[in-house]
Chain A
Amino acid sequence: MADTLLEIQHLNTSFRIHDDYYAAVDDVTLTVNKNEVLAIVGESGSGKSALAFSIMGLHNRAKIEGSILFKEQELVGLPYSKLNQLRGDQLSMIFQDPLTALNPLMNIGDQIGEAILLHQKKLTKKKRKERVIDLLNQVGIPRPEQICEQFPHQLSGGMRQRVIIAIAIANRPELLIADEPTTALDVTIQAQILDLIRELKENMHAGIILITHDLGVVAEMADRVAVMYAGQIVELADVHTLFEKPLHPYTRSLLHSVPNEGQDKLHVIQGIVPSLQHLPRRGCRFAERIPWLDGSAHEEQPELHEVEPEHFVRCTCYRHFHFPAEREGWTHGIS
């Protein structure tokens, strides 16, 4: 692929629970290109945020193994002094909850200004202030001069999310990680924020990792999609292929769980994502949630198979599901 920005290989992020390490991100391999939106979808607890935090080096006490190459620089094991030059500059992140992600005691201008100050030390105070105003304009905040002097509690959730985006784009990042940027917002604001992110991509040609569990957002924004389940990528494809021809039973269930017109009962995937400590470490992790499928359908150690060019699926169990089955009786392809 042209212009690879981020290349993650065999990434394991493990947390210590009592005396053992448990991998929340398990053998993830993916790439992000310039000017591309890669969406990562999955249920809560599937390791999406853990993956994002690993890239940003924001985990406090996690064991990170594998390789994260950002513009051919290894991020795993990079000392903080070096990492801090990248973070907030070429590499930045938009957080999930705008209500808690801003310092309550610092005014908006200072919080955005800090991101600029940390990476453009030579800029004069006046220039920095101008840049802050400019950023606020860019993210669509009215009366920026006034907002600069205000504190987070004086702003609405949507406004705060815009401020967080302004912080993230303050230094024109090359890779932007958006961790569920619209989850905490109401629908009308969601659309505006997504428009904003899309504009940013077009203006700055940045690579964007969009983490979400909203498939509507994926369809609207993404170029490629990685579906995560229990810490692993179970399917990876470009957005059209994934929606037209999903292969992994988990992906299909996810797609099927979106409310559709004319559907009176919502499809529910049986069971829950197992907790980190109780994950089966061998075999197909989704097997428990499709119990009617015989054990022999799964691989012993499921791997990602490239079924078509650039379309990867984990485990062989997908072969037991036929697509497209009739739309009506579409419960994992068997009734």
Chain B
Amino acid sequence: MPQVLLLSVLVFLMAQMMPGDALSGQIDPNIDPAAIEAQREKLGLNNPWYVQYVDWVGSALHGDLGQSFRHKMPVTDLIGQRLANTFWLAVATLILTYLIAIPLGITSGRYNDTLRDQLITGYTYIGFATPLFIFALVSLWVFGFKLEWFPTGGSVAPGLEPGTFPYIVSKLQHLLLPALSMALITTVNTVQYLRSEIIDTKQKDFIITARAKGAPESRVYNRHILRNSLLPLAAFLGFEITGLIGGTIFVETIYSYPGMGLLFMDSIALRDYSVVTSVVLLLGVVSILGVLLSDIILSIVDPRIRIK
């Protein structure tokens, strides 16, 4: 909670510090500046920042995040539309991330310092070295434009009835390439993390105990090493979500996928403060929730920190 409060103040101040406001530039230059000034006064844009802040927080608590100057609709409605898209993109990316990371991490950790491990580690180094936005651009160009395997923008093909089967398929199609290109890059952290966890756990004393019981290697890995190594990954989930939020901003912009990230970028360009502040605040809350979520998961799977 204190984090959210601090975040809201910071976000609000930073938005305030950006030059210009919604009434600059976009307005017909023939309008009398005095009228614009009057309008500013009426909208409260000339009040000191703390008054504006209290106003904003007060209405935010009532579920009113203000009006988008640009889209001429309440910010909550605007975000509501986009949120579902980003949510599915994030979920797809998370699933793909773990689908890639877990087998690779296990192989790499179990057979460390063999050719298999070196190939996987090689991939992770390439992943670390490749910026997400370049990789996303390249895969958009190759798979979207050259090979035409995937659509190149939007979140669904036009003219489909929501809820029907073709609609869902089309959604998935639009989702897959952005999610995959993001997952391929962000997963390298998790692969490396899992690899070092497994190598670490392999040398623990209780693994020797398991072997001394006569447990075959497969059981030693599946029952003893794996569970102890996956545990820290649960703790990592929170950071994963935070990273994902950063990632969606790039990826949605590149794939013109109508989610929160794209909305955020557009709103910054258009000085749509009420949207910018709301989006940042929301993303901040989500990343704090992510950390909370990993704490909860950890307390479920780890008996040592079980909540009484």
Contact = CB atoms under 8 A, between A and B. Distances in A.
Interface of A: 56, 58, 80-81, 83-89, 92-93, 95, 97, 100-107, 114-115, 118-119, 151, 153, 164, 167-168
Given A84-B216, A88-B213, A114-B223, 4 more contacts: A80-B216, A85-B214, A88-B214, A101-B209
Interface of B: 204-206, 208-217, 219, 223-224, 227-228, 231, 301-304
Contact of B206 (A83, A93, A101): A101
B206 A114 contact: no
Given A95-B208, A100-B206, A164-B209, A105 B214 contact: no
Contact of A153 (B212, B215, B228, B303): B303
Contacts of A95: 205, 208-209, 212
A86 B211 CA distance: 11
Contacts of B213: 87-88, 92, 114-115, 118, 167
A87 B303 CA distance: 29
Contacts of A80: 216-217
B211 A87 contact: yes
A100 B208 CA distance: 10
Contacts of B228: 103-105
B303 A103 contact: no
Contacts of B302: 105
Contacts of A100: 204-206
B204 A56 contact: no
Contacts of B231: 105
Q: Give the most central of A85, A92, A104, A107: most B CB within 10 Å.
A: A104
Contacts of B206: 100-104
Given A100-B206, A103-B224, A104-B228, A93 B303 contact: no
A85 to B, nearest CB: 7
B306 to A, nearest CB: 9
B223 to A, nearest CB: 8
Contacts of B224: 103, 106
Given A80-B217, A97-B205, A104 B304 contact: yes
